[in-house]
Amino acid sequence: MAIVVASSNLLHFLPASSDPPYEQLQIHPSLALLSKCKSIRNFKQIHSQFIKFGLHNTQFALSKLIEFCAVSPYGNLSYAMSIFNSIHDPNHVIYNMMIRGSSLSSSPRLALDYYINMLIFGLQPNSYTFPFLFKSCTKLLTAHTGKQIHGQVFKFGLEDDAYVHTSLINMYAQHGNLDDARKVFDKSTFRDPVSFTALITGYISRGYVDKARELFDAIPLRDVVSWNAMISGYAQIGRSVDALSLFQEMRKAKVSPDLSTLLSVLSACARLGAIETGTWVRSWIEEHGHGSNLRLVNAMIDMYAKCGDLNMARSLFNSIQEKDLVSWNVMIGGYAHMNEYKDALEIFRLMQLNDVEPNDVTFLNVIPACAHLGALDLGKWMHKYIEKHYQDFPNEMLWTSLINMYAKCGNIEAAKQIFYSLQTKSLGSWNVMISGLAMHGDAYRAIELFSEMTKEGFQPDDITFVGVLSACCHAGLVDLGRECFNSMIQDFNISPQLQHYGCMVDLLARSGLFDEAVALVERMGIEPDGAIWGSILGACRIHKNLELGEYAARKLFELEPDNPGAYVLLSNIYAGAGKWDEVARIRTLLNDKGMKKVPGSTSIEVDSIVHEFLVSDRTHPKSNEIYKMLEEVDRLLEMAGHVPDTSEVYYDVDEEWKEGVLCQHSEKLAIAFGLISTQPGTTLRIVKNLRVCGNCHSATKIISKIFKREIIARDRSRFHHFKDGHCSCMDYW
């Protein structure tokens, strides 16, 4: 903003002998400039004009300077304090401005200091003084000071002032002193919707939602603020059904919603997946001309994304001319919420191209997307960015997310490095590290870490034991698994959930202990889910247990009739037993039901770009080179004595075709692409959506030896580290 220096002919505003009239001060050009000021730099220039023309000698002009510095978002409280200290005899208006500015700052105790000085100099506080004093007391850790100020309210006879009364209730409520807040409310002869709302908000913040609702129902005349307090309260604690129900009542009462109402309702719709109500809200917004309000558009993007309509969310996102950081975050978060991780990373890259600085919310959405896709290079970039920008302001969730990302991207050493560098560890960071070690098959280290955690005084939760039991399961440690499961119940008083039972059933069944596994299912007191019967069915395939396999398959068909995986597993069991008629029957059943086996897909990151392959995939731009390398790989495998195992191809076709299908599995295509796209000796990291098959597992071991490459593969449940012809899983997975 350009500063226009006032000319000397304006000096008539300030007679030398006395203060100028109030009316003349109000129209002075310097005050007009102050009303348009939007930076402290320009303010200092305007301040110099105040001094030049003698305005700084008037209480009115000084109060305007103080107001800008103390209250304006463009101001500076320290500068306000320096101006205040230069005033010989500040009046109560100036003191009130300093109290207000201090209450809004990170040093609310200063407001109390100014109040004390105000009293010392004989100035009487008024109804504008106490609300900001109570605001300061609300920010302080103790309510004791607030009670002292409450006494001052009585001393100066302001207990029935509407603003003072409401701010007093709010102060007690925010400190959790709801009994005191209610006493103030009950004793007052003045109760407007604002005082009702202050107490309602206090009840909600402490979890007394039903009490809040009783008070809400008792309001004689509810304004939009009262409705908002109750609706947002329901939305904030996850009672979205109640929030939307109350919103319908508000509509029937013909109270027009405002911005706060609409934001709360859209949030509730997002949580519930209530797209119809959300669409009605959108229509209302557009009908009443609020369609350009960025906060509302952002909330609508979030609502549509979480309700599953990503196309509408993206359309709204694309329609925003000037996106703010929230716009980018809700679109990235929407894709991540719906497991569309590649699209989440695409939006993040667009965000970077638009020179928008990410924040912690951005990373908390993007880092898990990297983890799911195995996008290690991008994850490393984020790690460096976070180290540079968040080292002095640590966000525990960010570091925990990074540990999880490195573990899921196959770099368990980097995960360990971050974990052990944390000065203060949370239960969440211990849990992700234990889980990461379990995924990588390092069961004993996971158990050791669990012991360290308990020694440091952390109380494990149900998530901790999912990680511990998974570690035992991946390593086949039956005795240790039993011991941990019993310890969870007896030593830590944690009731087993389906995931804990699932780990134990999987551990026992894959070890061939079918009687014990079935007995555990029968006595666990919770209805087994598809994952538990799926574990038993998968173990039956490994151990060729046809009878139990058929029983487990029937249970799975009842629970998940549209899941083709159960049919495929049963078909493989029949194929292993040579029952080709049954294989044909299952295949026909699948066709009749219109079900298709989930296609195996494998992704690999090269030069920060994630490439995805399906079985026999020829869509990649380098498809010709990939298949040439695949032919070379198969030739070298044959020379090394590798013979494809066709037993897991469930349909009855000739052996040559079976072998051809196996040679073009998605993980082999991804490995071939990695071999032609990276320097010799570079570690290859691949991510598969299904369990790695036995044929590809044995082939990858040999490939790692032939090409002298370490190949780290993540399937749907664990990691395999292939090196020098061996796998970290010791062929147990």
Q: What is the tens place of the pLDDT at every residue in 346-357?
A: 999 999 999 999
**Lowest mean pLDDT segment, chosen from 104-108, 460-464, 593-597:** 593-597
Question: Where exactly are the structural domains of the chain?
Answer: 496-597, 601-727
pLDDT band at 698 (very low <50, low <70, confident <90, very high): very high
Cβ–Cβ < 8 Å for 136, 103 = yes
* pLDDT tens per residue across span 647-671: 555 444 333 334 445 567 899 999 9
The DSSP string of 140-169 is: SS-SHHHHHHHHHHHHTT-TT-HHHHHHHH
Q: Which burial class, exposed, middle or buried, applies to 686 when counting CB atoms under 10 A from its CB (0-12, 13-18, 19+)?
A: buried
* pLDDT tens per residue across span 171-219: 887 787 888 888 888 877 666 777 788 888 888 877 788 888 988 888 8
What is the arithmetic mean of pLDDT over 355-377? 93
Residue ranges of alpha helices (H) inside 640-665 are 655-663
How many residues are given for the chain? 733
**Lowest mean pLDDT segment, chosen from 287-301, 319-333, 591-605:** 591-605
Q: Is the pLDDT of residue 460 over 50?
A: yes
pLDDT band at 110 (very low <50, low <70, confident <90, very high): very high
Q: What is the pLDDT of residue 13?
A: 35
pLDDT band at 167 (very low <50, low <70, confident <90, very high): confident
| Tokens representing residue 359 in the block | 């924040």
Q: What is the pLDDT of residue 306?
A: 94
The DSSP string of 507-520 is: HHHHTT-HHHHHHH
Q: What is the pLDDT of residue 27?
A: 60
Range among 462-466, 559-563, 715-719 rated most confident: 462-466
Average pLDDT, the chain: 88
Q: What is the pLDDT of residue 323?
A: 95
Residue that wins the pLDDT comparison between 688 and 600: 688
CATH for 496-597 (3.40.50.720, 3.20.20.220, 3.40.50.300, 1.25.40.10): 1.25.40.10
What is the arithmetic mean of pLDDT over 133-140? 88
For the entire predicted model, the pTM comes to: 0.74
The DSSP string of 217-254 is: HT-SS--HHHHHHHHHHHHHTT-HHHHHHHHHHHHHTT
pLDDT band at 722 (very low <50, low <70, confident <90, very high): very high
Cβ–Cβ < 8 Å for 506, 539 = yes
What is the arithmetic mean of pLDDT over 403-415? 95
Q: What is the pLDDT of residue 646?
A: 61
Q: What is the pLDDT of residue 329?
A: 97
Q: Is the pLDDT of residue 39 over 70?
A: yes
Question: Is the Cα torsion angle 80, 82, 83, 88 positive or negative in sign?
Answer: positive
Rounded distance, CA 665 to CA 601, Å? Answer: 8
Rounded distance, CA 718 to CA 306, Å? Answer: 29
* pLDDT tens per residue across span 284-302: 999 888 888 999 999 999 9
Phi-psi category of residue 493: left, alpha or beta, with phi > 0 → left and psi -120 to 50 → alpha: left
Q: What is the pLDDT of residue 162?
A: 77
The DSSP string of 586-627 is: HHHHHHHHT--PPPPEEEEEETTEEEEEETT---STTHHHHH
Residue that wins the pLDDT comparison between 303 and 75: 303
Q: Which burial class, exposed, middle or buried, applies to 651 when counting CB atoms under 10 A from its CB (0-12, 13-18, 19+)?
A: middle
Give the residues across from 719 on adjacent strands.
714
Please report, rounded to a whole number, the percentage of residues in the chain having pLDDT higher than 90.
Answer: 59
Q: What is the pLDDT of residue 649?
A: 53
Q: What is the pLDDT of residue 490?
A: 95
Q: Which of 564, 575, 504 is nearest to 541 (CA)?
A: 575
Rounded distance, CA 238 to CA 209, Å? Answer: 11
| Tokens representing residue 598 in the block | 């989930």
Q: Is the pLDDT of residue 430 over 90?
A: yes
Please report, rounded to a whole number, the percentage of residues in the chain having pLDDT higher than 70.
Answer: 92
Residue in this structure with the two tokens 């638009």, named with its chain if needed: 354
pLDDT band at 77 (very low <50, low <70, confident <90, very high): very high
Q: To the nearest 10°, report the CA torsion of 232, 237, 238, 242.
A: -50
* pLDDT tens per residue across span 493-531: 999 999 999 999 999 999 999 999 999 999 998 999 999
Rounded distance, CA 472 to CA 341, Å? Answer: 30
Give the Cβ contact number of residue 89 at 10 Å: 8
What is the arithmetic mean of pLDDT over 390-405? 83
